Chain A
Amino acid sequence: MRPNIYYSKRVGILGSGLTLFRSKMLETPQELAFIAARRALDEAGLELKDIDCVVIGSAPDAFDGVHMKGEYLAHGSGGIRKMVSRVYVGGATGVMVPISGWYHVASGLCEKVLVVAEEKMSGDLPHPQAIFRYIWDPITEKPLNPNLIWIFAMEMHRYMKKYGIKKEDIALVSVKNKRNAINNPYAQLPGQITVDDVMNSEVLVWPVQRLDISPTSDGAAAMVLASEDVTRRYTDTPVWIEGVGWTLDNTSWPGRDLFYPRYLENAAKMAYRMAGIERPNKEIDVVEPYDPFDYKELHHLEGLQIAGRGQAPFLLKEGFFDLDGDIPSSPSGGLLGVGNPIAAAGLMKTISIYWQLKGIAGKMQVKRPVKTGVAQAWGDLMQASTVIVMRN
């Protein structure tokens, strides 16, 4: 591991906050954002007046039913009479928010930044799925009346076909993550399930079945980031953001081979170069890859260069990614176990790595000592990835 030679300013993490992730919450989006933000401030030992800038992340405006959702969420997120803006890369937003928080601080413009991500999907009628119809190309794709699960199913099937992977091997991700979520007090769908449970669950869009998918959720997450000086003043056990990377592939997803997320490889290499990581499968101790669907975790472990192409299912079977494995994956329980309030879920994954590196993950704490952790999110039309590397 080489020290980071490219960037002079270090950025640390001072606190984190989450709401419960649940299918239906009484609170408005603003109130959910407030609860998470307040908890992050409390953990950091700060008040809103200490915060210079706020960065907000949220996925489609249509979910919360407000145009310019960043403006609406600013209030609950503490973005009052200060610099506040919203960043957006579809489902990959949750990890883009701390990346943006990182450059707010690393640029020298801000010293203490509050990053907040929120999603409320329970208000959508007739179903959140209907919202996703509008993510497709309005002229060449939407007339086919697609639903979101179609593209996931298409990608999953291509991945299975390319490497001869069985559905049973992919179902193990769901089993692992829901099991890990039993240790997570915020989780919506923890549980001991079996591969058979997944295989016998309702077929939605073959090869995708009900238990291959994370649920829709309401929830929010927040973090406080700060400059090196401030971080050292407030904590003796700092966790640093040491690498960030993001990439968008082109819009024309049908014209790309879906078996491999080349855009994630790009984003990961950008973050690893910055963090001085040369051998990701040796130097990374714990990882939170984005898992809205079970095969996605495997796909992403390959894109992150932690597993070779087509190899992730075999490593998974051997227990390599278990809590006591070589590189524990989704120790939080992931989206499959904790829930999927889109942008908040990505930030929850970043927070999970922070807990691990800080040593405060409680029952979620992985068995081996950890020095370097990675969180990742994914989004748009099989197109976007965001990667963050943290160290203690």
Chain B
Amino acid sequence: MHKVAIVAMGWYGFRPLTPEVSFREMVFEAATRAYAMADIDPRKDVDTFISCQEDFWEGISIADEFAPDPIGGSMRPTMTVSGDGIQGIVHGAMQILSGISKITVVESHSKPSDIEKIHKIVEFGMDPIYVRTVKSPNVHFLAGLDASKFMKKGYTREDFAEVVRKNKVNGLSSPRSSYASKLSLEDILSQDYVVYPLSKLDIAEYVDGSIVSVLASEEVARKLTDTPIWIDGMYFSSDSTLELSYLGEAEYLTISSREALKMAKVDSPTKLKGGFIDDRYSYKELEHVESIGLNAREMLREGELEKDGDFPVNPLGGHLAKGIPLEASGLSLTLDGFEYLLSGKESAIVASWRGIPTFTGGVLVMRR
């Protein structure tokens, strides 16, 4: 099989509020930066374009209408994948591998600050007949259920607080981290619960931002850059509906990482040099690290997940430091991984989740 590489990424925003720009202007800025890095003209050099978005995040029915213009994709093959940016990257890579494209652009963005009550939109994603009707006072209840089940495997509140501390301080080294801070374990543990066992600090905030990535076939990637970041393995998957999915584990990442690692011919994730792993809830980072096949509890307690540990997880801060840019979340983790590899590290795994109420996630195995 031929290979696909990420040759450039550009971003804009990553602030809690961006009232001065429309989402379209924000996407144009990110695209301009990505194309400058790749030194390409999107009007001539790009074969296909993919946008990842959902109508109710945008507040526009058929948000696909707004996809082409700000990325240079009008009158070109542009489409929407209604999903996380990682799913968009896999679709883009499949287009390249099929022979239909040599350069594909994958875009995603978020403007939660335009949404009046985002939790009502999250609730609108739940099954209309038997989940929404529960009328829970708090959309995080599903995470609470999942986290409680997960704790039965021997995890404690202190473990979760440790993840919060680590990621918030790691975020201080990235310009995208609006929510980075230096907190002590006591600061974190003294917070009130939102839903047991999670406090406000265990739950990542939302953020406005846009990310554009440029994928290329092996041949083209080598021409465009001396440092292509290869996507050696990729996969995404969904578990099942709420009542049929496994709580306390992330089956979607177990499946995705198994397939992606197989494709990358990596027999264990410990062979990789770091992880960029969804942490929109503190416990989720640990659950996700477990589901890709690692002993998260031991590694956390031994300090192996720290920035200077054997297997750094979210060394640039993850969602707890940067915020959740809705469907750009997977691209945010990928961008962290991309920068990490450009800084000289050899390999990384990216593992993304679409958040509540989904059981969907995707994995990329990337190599310098």
Contact = CB atoms under 8 A, between A and B. Distances in A.
Contacts of A157: none
Interface in B66-84: 66-69, 73-83
B98 A107 contact: yes
Interface in A235-274: 244-252, 262-263, 266-267, 270, 274
A218 to B, nearest CB: 15
Among B64, B77, B128, B235, the one with the most A-chain Cβ atoms within 10 Å of its Cβ is B64
Interface string A93-117: 0001000101110111100000000
Nearest to B73: A248
Interface centre among B60, B77, B259, B357 (most CB of A within 10 A): B77
A261 B347 CA distance: 46
Interface stretch (A41-49, A63-71, A168-176, A324-332): A63-71
B93 A107 contact: yes
Interface string B99-129: 1100000000000000000000110110111
B65 interface: yes
A244 B99 CA distance: 12
B97 A88 contact: no
A65 to B, nearest CB: 6
Most A Cβ at <10 Å: residue of B79, B90, B99, B255 = B79
A251 B69 contact: yes
Contact of A103 (B54, B100, B358): B100
A291 interface: no
Interface in B231-251: 235-241, 244, 251
B75 A384 contact: no
What is the interface of chain A mostly: helix, strand, loop, or mixed? mixed
Given A61-B54, A61-B56, A88-B82, A75 B240 contact: yes
Contacts of A89: 64, 79-80
Contacts of B60: 134-135, 138
A80 interface: yes
**Contact-residue bracket for chain B:** 35 or more
Given A67-B124, A75-B240, A9 B98 contact: yes
A106 B99 contact: yes
A134 B61 contact: yes
B95 interface: yes
B293 interface: no
A71 B327 CA distance: 13
B356 to A, nearest CB: 10
A80 B240 contact: yes
B64 A68 contact: no
B354 interface: yes
A72 interface: yes
B210 interface: no
Interface of A: 6-9, 28, 59-62, 65-72, 74-75, 79-90, 96, 100, 102-104, 106-109, 131-135, 138, 244-252, 262-263, 266-267, 270, 274, 379-381, 383-384
5 contacts: A6-B99, A71-B360, A88-B80, A102-B98, A245-B77
Given A67-B56, A132-B61, 18 more contacts: A60-B55, A79-B238, A80-B239, A80-B240, A83-B236, A86-B82, A88-B81, A103-B98, A107-B95, A107-B97, A108-B1, A134-B60, A134-B61, A247-B78, A248-B74, A250-B75, A379-B62, A381-B65
